[in-house]
A and B are shown apart, each in its own frame.
Chain A
């Protein structure tokens, strides 16, 4: 990669270099070429949206988090007190712990399944590979809410077919949406169903981009299939695995839609079931928008720390995960 970048830099066209030194002026003055100006025009719509719907709201939320609005007494500057409340809130940490357990199970399971199928399709041993890849990808195209509703029908107590099947084969009644582990397990199943296909496609594409000659030379050197996969191919797609790992950790820690949809079918989703559900309820039910803003920054910080820690651990280990 480094080589490529250097080559590109060297290959910059002469006229581009000349841009950096404008006639008669110092090198600090720089003008955009016509092409570049058009480029700016094209990124403008994105940039305006990015500014108005992401950057400004984030700054506003940060500002908001330093105030407290009360029904009696109005809005007053309270400094870091919302952060203190958030950090000391048992409800927040119970939700955080539940979500961490969820992520610790769901992300590895998802990546293992996705890697397995990506490798299988990459080997080309499966017939109708393209067809199955598409089928596996379909859950990603189903909106999360719809997926949640569909699975809710399957899990519903006591009418869902899964429970019925268990009863029919003599294993007795089981409430898939029961308090504690059953509910969390069911949410893991829904999320894994939704995201495995997508993750698999990313990994499959990465595996495909491994140069053929590397694999061929490994085979010529006598490496058997298992070795080629674990020692050649997977290490070469480690960056992709890291990427899907981080994306899925971030997604898992923001768990919201699946449990929220399930509240229609079960009373076991508490108001602080996950940190995002908790902050949603603090904002819209408790009308504590300022506290909700503070909670969201605490949550964002936790997610950043966990993601960075994940990358650092991976780097230190060197190999693929």
Chain B
């Protein structure tokens, strides 16, 4: 997704709630005003004006999503694209103007799961399937396994391979087959309140070992504060971060065999590391994307957020003068000193569906949208604010220098852009929707469970599910 729907399960639930709140905007706003005097404003339905990747705006109709201009040419091929990122009608307009034979109609049918349910139903009914749709990286395999997406290799997609961050291309392809064009992404980094770090003379460090020491030092210096907050029940976040250590728990290469491994040595190393930090008190386990979460980042209770390129745009609207301007990005710490391995959290792809009557034109649209600077110069600006997988933009000096008030206008994307080319690609299983819905890890937040113990539960839950779905499962 974009920044928000990355978090598919919870993300879309939240998106759904926000959309509902939009319809009762007045009520919700009044309720917020009455009941949450000290709360951060994120719960209100007020659309954010700048840098907002959130799908909320799309749901609220704060930005027009379907205002594409009349198409050119006589009897152009009609295409339908389902995209929930706000403001992309600007890109579609340019495409339609420069491609007289094709007329793309943009539809926002909902973000994340909301869209996937409609998409899956349409595919099952073989009726009303769009030509192109936004599908997150982790969800694409669910459409590959049902043979619902076109292999774009026959429409020349492979010639774009060199233009994309390697991990992104790997996650949309199986061998030489290309099942979607990669779109935006979220290379992970740290977003820290530098004033808070300076106050206690702590730096987050360049390795996770140093980070653990810094966490202990920070908590000792400020017993009410934490170097960072960790949300293990945010499943997409969890496995994305595991990817950096090579502990990603799944593997699927297009067939009927799948690997599920939550209990291997690397997985346990990851689990024990974070559980150790939580148990020692240096890191707080708490739910992300909630009012308390934003508020604690703003007031210095949490000094850093282990997040992705799009994270700051969710945090920014929740910041007050207390911390505005003092936020800086730091590279994601490494498991091995001197290594350079990055992780990616979220992002979307744009497949063409086999039900399309005009796959060649649909492929042309997806390739133009994701593989040209002309399109990206629009897509990275507000309100779409997508972080690219497209190398020419990742190397663009203007893009790299751009900042926001939260960072005192110092560069926001340079660390993430550098990380993008070093992300360790992961192999998503074709059943992420189920995984993301599991609430197994929630007991870590209230201290009634531990990450290693929950990983054992996940191992059995996911193995049972995968077997039930007919897969040969190895660990």
Contact = CB atoms under 8 A, between A and B. Distances in A.
A261 B295 CA distance: 21
Contacts of B43: 153
Q: Which interface residue of A158, A178, A286 has the most chain B CB atoms within 10 A?
A: A286
B146 A71 contact: yes
B122 interface: no
A154 B465 CA distance: 38
Interface stretch (A38-46, A126-134, A144-152): A144-152
A186 to B, nearest CB: 14
A159 B39 contact: yes
Given A149-B20, A156-B36, A159-B38, A286 B434 contact: yes
Contact of A71 (B17, B290, B469): B469
B434 A287 contact: yes
A41 B442 CA distance: 55
Chain B: interface secondary structure? helix
Contacts of A267: 233, 287, 439, 442, 445
A264 B470 contact: no
Contacts of B177: none
Chain B contact-residue range equals 35 or more
A72 interface: yes
Interface in A64-91: 70-73
B38 A71 contact: no
Given A286-B433, A287-B120, A287-B431, A72 B469 contact: yes
A160 B113 CA distance: 29
B358 interface: no
Contacts of B256: 72
Interface in A258-293: 261, 263-271, 281, 284-288
Contacts of A146: 24, 27
A159 B448 contact: no
Q: Which interface residue of A72, A156, A161, A268 has the most chain B CB atoms within 10 A?
A: A72
A321 B32 CA distance: 42
Contacts of A265: 290
Given A71-B145, A263-B13, A285 B436 contact: yes
A157 interface: yes
Contacts of B233: 267
B117 interface: yes
A160 B290 CA distance: 13
A287 B116 CA distance: 11
A288 B38 CA distance: 43
A139 to B, nearest CB: 13
Interface in B422-449: 430-431, 433-434, 436-439, 442-443, 445-446, 448
B191 to A, nearest CB: 22
Contacts of A71: 145-146, 430-431, 469-471
Nearest to A288: B468
A179 interface: yes
B94 interface: no
Given A146-B24, A156-B36, A159-B36, A270 B146 contact: no
B292 A70 contact: no
B35 interface: yes
Given A149-B21, A267-B439, A285-B434, A72 B471 contact: yes
A153 B438 CA distance: 25
Contacts of A281: 437
Contacts of B468: 70, 288
A157 B20 contact: no
Interface string A165-185: 000000000000011000000
B122 to A, nearest CB: 15
Nearest to A280: B437
A4 to B, nearest CB: 46
A269 B445 CA distance: 13
B105 interface: no
B28 interface: yes
A178 B13 contact: no
A79 to B, nearest CB: 16
B13 A264 contact: yes
B470 to A, nearest CB: 3
B27 A158 contact: no
B291 interface: yes
B14 interface: yes
A206 B441 CA distance: 50
A33 B146 CA distance: 56
Contacts of A270: 439, 442
Interface of B: 9-10, 13-14, 17, 20-21, 24, 27-28, 31-32, 34-39, 43, 113, 117, 120, 145-146, 233, 256, 287, 290-292, 295, 430-431, 433-434, 436-439, 442-443, 445-446, 448, 465, 468-471
10 contacts: A71-B471, A72-B145, A149-B20, A159-B38, A159-B292, A179-B443, A263-B10, A285-B433, A286-B433, A288-B468
Given A149-B20, A154-B35, A267-B233, 14 more contacts: A153-B34, A159-B36, A159-B292, A160-B35, A161-B34, A161-B35, A178-B446, A261-B17, A264-B13, A266-B287, A285-B113, A285-B433, A287-B433, A287-B434
Closest 5 A-B residue pairs measured CB to CB?
A72-B470, A285-B437, A70-B470, A73-B470, A159-B39
